[in-house]
Structure 1
């Protein structure tokens, strides 16, 4: 049995690809006999320790998000609490998710200083020519140079991560996302409104998800195909643009905005449609199109990032990320969707993806890194300086501070479990010398 800590800024009650990946992976690892905990920051209405399905233990730590659902990179500020949790739960492996989760990055560094094995899973693609991606990549390079192993959700994501963080591709495994197909079953009888071709869109209303593309496509398709009805779910900063477009072009009779859709209602929304539309500008792995395909919808998606690795060409129509090409593919999908083999497609998707396979492959990564020896302190200093003279010196100072604070915490807050074990061994030795072996047979008897 391996004791595993999954950590990320993004977790329930927020719903998305990263959140569902952590939740489903944790449940499957528990079913395989491992102990799993999740560490995240507090959300509105959720703080402290909570237990979820199958006893999945979640620590909602008292850290306030600064931007959306991401906390600031405080480094030393989170160390005392993280140390107590990791020691109390007797963790063996710390597994962080998402490059933009600074909470996860901090714990990876602290865990390495404490001697734990570390794993990182990347879920997104990042560029090299904008300020935000530049800073994310610099921080990620420092964090991952000390991480024992990395995981990407697609081969495109693996190549992107290798270049961004200057990692050896042999130290990156590709383990795709998955979908619980038993929860996404087709039901064509739920399609409404009737006598329409319903196009479903469910995504976060952000620039990366291609909402600006969706706005242009909406105008063209509604004008060319009066029989089309758009069902749009999701929330975010770009939602206002969508609402203004619908009002300006009087598309209320052909569109329906659902707002944020709870996870347990996603299947019902998908079953209303004939076609699922994804207009993302970048994706490492798009779970949404797998869920839609499992529900028997004809999928139209932009051909960006690792999307082409997700579904075979007979299940999806790929389009260039331009309004004209997306509209052309929707026009092709409309007659196909009328006689689509929904149940046959569901069975095919069910054979392709399962969380049990993801957990099994992740488990192999855990066993692999547990056999590795930890990095020496000299190697960690060299890794810091590999990031440049000025930035490397700054990182080395952070590493020294981390180690110094750990020594101080070990003095002020000793590990009670280690102390208890030492005391037990001393008592056991004395009793054995005095009374023989039969007085104390196991630690459970105390």
Structure 2
């Protein structure tokens, strides 16, 4: 089967959820014998077309002027897909830039499925809601990452929606040799992600101040870069906790398993989330988790079983849960084992097979 996956960005431009999910799904569908084409935006220095591990990657220029960029991107998607002539199209998101598959379905009878990703579902504006409804109405199938996301998508359009989570490479994420740059005599609380307001990192930093006052060996290691770095560094200085908050910067994606294996607790204090794969990665390494009760997070982890769910924007709650884990070794060990067992259902091999079944069902039975 010839499959097209449309995603706004792709490796190596970004290494976030949608990009990594698209890459891993494409890679495993290719291993199942399918021809998979990725259509994405182009960045300077990258080829317009190349192969990546058997995946055909098409990169389309995108104007910095939003309206012009969106229109030209949609037209180029249309032209590229018309050349590829796929059996089916998968769209990673429900935003305005993904209206091309709807037009292609009408003109060329190519079926498409839509996958909600996160902010496109949880933080839409009125304009994108109108376009999103049209895209969802005409899709041959809709996929949400979590039950919470399914409910949000049903607010846009009430129809059947599959739930298929992001997967994880279980061969990469497991207990391995620790990352040597983290000191052995410290208790490491790890965050991995963008330094962005939606991640609620300021509340985590305030919580760490409380934790550090009770357990001086604790330190917070922030992995990632982003627009909020300077303001977060200023906050750390005002709180006087420069000695226990480390801005580690970005690391190569293949080093994330190493650094997670040095973590004592993984934290994610987000204000909004779709399906944060990094939680699965922490689970696979047996790390207890403290994460916000928002978006799809409660669908991934169970409070008290895989770690603790906390209320967003609540440093006191975050600090209390971190302290509880650090002060109870038996509980941490139990959660560690729970997480290693729980994460096994999220292997990309199983996720790819679920998508393949949907593709086959649509292409064999659709009357588009």
TM-score by length of 2: 0.90
Inter-CA distance 93–71: structure 2 relative to 1 (3 Å threshold): farther
Tell me which of the two structures has the higher relative contact order, counting C-alpha pairs closer than 8 angstroms and 6 or more residues apart.
Answer: 2
Q: Deviations over 1:37-72 (max 9, x none)?
A: 00001013213101111x1110011223557xx983
Residue number among 291, 301, 324 corresponding to 2:291 in the alignment: 301
Residue number among 164, 167, 188 corresponding to 1:198 in the alignment: 188
In the aligned structure 2, how far is the partner of 1:330 from the partner of 1:143? 42
Q: Deviations over 1:5-30 (max 9, x none)?
A: 00011211111111111001001111
| Matched residue, 1:278 | 268
In the aligned structure 2, how far is the partner of 1:121 from the partner of 1:90? 21
Asked whether the 8 Å contact 2:5–2:36 carries over to 1, the reply is: yes
Helix, strand or coil at the partner of 1:277: strand
| Matched residue, 2:308 | 317
Asked whether the 8 Å contact 1:296–1:341 carries over to 2, the reply is: no
- What is the RMSD of the two structures over their aligned residues, measured on CA atoms? 2.5
**1:72 aligns to 2:72 (yes or no):** no
In the aligned structure 1, how far is the partner of 2:65 from the partner of 2:232? 27
1:254 Cα offset (Å): 0.8
Structure 1 portions without partners, runs of 5+: 375-446
1:208 Cα offset (Å): 1.9
| Matched residue, 1:258 | 248
1:347 Cα offset (Å): 4.1
1:81 Cα offset (Å): 3.6
In the aligned structure 1, how far is the partner of 2:147 from the partner of 2:264? 30
In the aligned structure 2, how far is the partner of 1:337 from the partner of 1:133? 46
Asked whether the 8 Å contact 1:41–1:64 carries over to 2, the reply is: no
In the aligned structure 2, how far is the partner of 1:87 from the partner of 1:135? 27
**1:105 aligns to 2:85 (yes or no):** no
Q: Deviations over 1:358-408 (max 9, x none)?
A: 11111121122221212xxxxxxxxxxxxxxxxxxxxxxxxxxxxxxxxxx
Residue number among 79, 89, 112 corresponding to 2:84 in the alignment: 89
Structure 2 portions without partners, runs of 5+: none
Inter-CA distance 225–108: structure 2 relative to 1 (3 Å threshold): farther
1:135 Cα offset (Å): 2.6
| Matched residue, 1:220 | 210
1:262 Cα offset (Å): 2.1
Helix, strand or coil at the partner of 2:125: helix
1:251 Cα offset (Å): 1.9
In the aligned structure 2, how far is the partner of 1:233 from the partner of 1:372? 45
Inter-CA distance 349–181: structure 2 relative to 1 (3 Å threshold): farther
Inter-CA distance 83–285: structure 2 relative to 1 (3 Å threshold): closer
**1:207 aligns to 2:197 (yes or no):** yes
Greater Rg by CA: 1
Where do 1:7-86 residues align within 5 Å?
7-13=6-12, 14-53=14-53, 55-66=54-65, 72-74=69-71, 77-78=72-73, 81-86=76-81
Asked whether the 8 Å contact 1:6–1:95 carries over to 2, the reply is: yes
Residue number among 165, 168, 180 corresponding to 1:179 in the alignment: 168
TM-score by length of 1: 0.75
Inter-CA distance 39–118: structure 2 relative to 1 (3 Å threshold): same
